[in-house]
Structures are given as structure tokens and as C-alpha cells.
Amino acid sequence: MFKKKCNVCGSTLEKQWSFCPNCGASCAVRNMGVPGINNINLDLTKVMQQVVGPLLNSAFGGNIFKQKSQPQKQSMQEKFNKNIGNVEEVIEPQDLVSEHGDTIVHAINLPGVKSKSDINITKMENSIEVRALCGKKLYLKIIQREKGEGVVSEDFTQENLILVLKKI
């Protein structure tokens, strides 16, 4: 009688089993008469999702098999909003503005801010709102902009946010 051990948990397996009853791991399929093929792991769930599911979906024009959705990473906006509750002081940062033809450069000084992930930039129709967190301080700067003026670049370096606006 053929018996083998599970590669994951060591439980005894029967020949006809595809998965280990103890841990759920896929059982290895032996040679089956095809030369050069040994210990191929078949994951039936993957086969259903990647091959059979799309075939049935296209044949019946629907979503018979739906892909399992991956948990989404927390966005920078969500992380920012989560930390904003600790704010004790709101400060308007210094903004050095220089104009070069149809280009406007804003150099916003954000002392103590360490990375761009601590900064939230919201572009609205007539303004740009810059918020930056530094411990219990919130830097808040609202920059007025004309219609048709867009942000060309955003760069954060050495506690300074550089926003370049240009007429589009």
C-alpha cells in the first residue's frame, strides 16, 4: 500500500489525496509515466483562478469566478489623516516665491519635517493646500493659483518643499 509523508507537517498521506488533511498543503504528484517529471506540485486553487475561471467567465460573459481581492496598502492620505489627531499647534510656514516668466516657484520651509510621507498636497481648482506634520505641529499653507495653472513638479529636500507651477 502506497503511503507518503506531507512535506510541510509530516502527516501520513494516502496516494489519492491532493491536499494534506492536517495542514492543507498541496501533495506532490509523482512521475505518472512522463519521463523527467517528478514532484510537480499542483495547486488546484491557482489552476481554477488562473485558467478555468477566466475561460468560464469569457464563455458565459460574466464573473463566475472572481479574483480574491488583495488587502490594499494604507495610502499616504490615510496615514496622514490618522496622525493629524495628535496636532496641538498649527503654523503657517514661510514661503519664498519667485516668478520666472510663466513659471512660479514656491519654496516652503518645513522645519523638522523628515520625509515627503509627512506632507499632504491637495490640488483644488483655485488653490493648493499643503499640510505637513512634525510631531504635534501641523504646517498649513494655502497657495492661491490662477485657472489653468498646474503643478509641474514637487520636490522635498532638506526640510524644504519646492513646488513649481506653470500655466498650462
CATH code for the domain of 120: 2.60.40.790
Residue 14's pLDDT is what? Answer: 80
Residue 69 in any domain: the answer is: no
Residue 67 in any domain: the answer is: no
How many domains does the chain fold into? 2
Same domain for 82 and 109, yes or no, is yes
Which residue range(s) make up the domain with 161? 76-167
CB atoms within 10 A of CB 79: 15
Q: Using CA atoms, how far apart are residues 104 and 97, in angstroms rounded to an integer?
A: 7
Q: Using CA atoms, how far apart are residues 58 and 56, in angstroms rounded to an integer?
A: 5
Task: Give the cell for residue 20.
Answer: 494534506
Residue 160's pLDDT is what? Answer: 94
Residue 5's pLDDT is what? Answer: 80
Contact 126, 147 (CB under 8 A): yes
Residue 44's pLDDT is what? Answer: 54
Residue 60's pLDDT is what? Answer: 65
Q: Using CA atoms, how far apart are residues 15 and 49, in angstroms rounded to an integer?
A: 25
**pLDDT tens by residue, the chain, 168 residues:** 556 787 777 888 887 777 777 777 776 544 344 444 444 444 555 555 566 666 666 666 665 555 554 454 455 556 556 666 677 888 999 999 998 888 999 999 999 999 888 898 988 888 999 998 888 888 999 999 888 888 888 999 999 999 999 887
Residue 4's pLDDT is what? Answer: 77
Give, in degrees to the nearest 5, the angle at Cα 12 between 41 and 2: 80
Residue 28's pLDDT is what? Answer: 54
Q: Which of 130, 131, 165, 129 is nearest to 148 (CA)?
A: 165
Same domain for 84 and 33, yes or no, is no
Query: End-to-end distance of the chain based on CA atoms, in angstroms?
Result: 77
Task: Give the cell for residue 161.
Answer: 518643499
Same domain for 121 and 159, yes or no, is yes
